[in-house]
Amino acid sequence: MRALSANDIVQVWEWGQDKHPVDRALALLALACPELAPEQLQSLTIGQRNSRLLALREKTLGPTLKGFAECAQCGTSLEFAVEVGAIRRPEPAAQAYSLQVDGLTLRFRPLNSLDLAAIVGLAEVGAARRCLIERCLLQATQDGQPLSAAELPESALAALVDALTEHDPQSETRFHLTCAACGHGWSTLFDIVSFFWTELDGRARRLLAEVHALARAYGWREADILAMSEARRHFYLESVG
Ligand SMILES: [Zn+2]
């Protein structure tokens, strides 16, 4: 895996303006891992995808994730800083798993980007959940008799949804926050796709502003300015004033 260059960031930012987060995530990984075919990237589990995005974020912008969260108890806005290493979780150990619940045996596989893409158009949460369950359920049996996903009781569906996260832990990344003002503590969900994209959006806009300033001062081409090291670009920017 290689870090994103200044040119990569501007290119992917421009392309991703009107794209869904599922596609943005895959485009970032395609840039970082050119040795992997699109089908290989699409079939990574969501946890494997998120692990790679965390690694790419670390290589490109460093290991410390900084952001803001609002305390649900007192409303204070607090700044947090989390190390990538502190939220890294293991990857799935197998391609498929079995689950026993209420006399049923379920065999399933972890979710991947193709599954998430399949529910993009579904506005209703229940429909999206059913679609994901139908896709990841490989087999359901009761006393040796096969059952369809539609025949499964709610208790089995809930257990399956829990098992999906349990066996692909990086698919749902959480960390703990404590409010400095009131002491309230809570577990917050961390979405690396939207977090990293928001950072890259800021970075791309700053890069284009730098291109604008240097092109105006020196008449240099955009491609040449983006190909410079950050140190050299910033030296010229300081010289321009
Ligand atoms: Zn608080």
Q: What is the pLDDT of residues 32-59, one digit of tens each?
A: 999 999 999 999 999 999 999 999 999 9
pLDDT at position 207: 98
Separation CA 121–CA 27 (nearest Å): 20
Centroid of ligand 1 to alpha carbon of 175 (angstroms): 16
Query: Tokens 């679609």 appear where?
Result: 131
pLDDT at position 241: 80
Centroid of ligand 1 to alpha carbon of 182 (angstroms): 4
pLDDT at position 157: 95
Query: Tokens 């990574």 appear where?
Result: 44
Separation CA 108–CA 163 (nearest Å): 9
In Å, the largest CA–CA distance within the chain is 77
Tokens of 26: 């895959």
Specify whether the backbone of 90 is left (phi greater than 0), alpha (psi in -120 to 50) or beta.
beta
Centroid of ligand 1 to alpha carbon of 202 (angstroms): 28
What band does 93 get if pLDDT is binned at 50, 70 and 90? confident
What band does 239 get if pLDDT is binned at 50, 70 and 90? very high
CB atoms within 10 A of CB 76: 13
Centroid of ligand 1 to alpha carbon of 128 (angstroms): 34
pLDDT tens, position by position, 135-189? 999 999 999 999 999 999 999 999 999 999 999 999 999 999 999 999 999 999 9
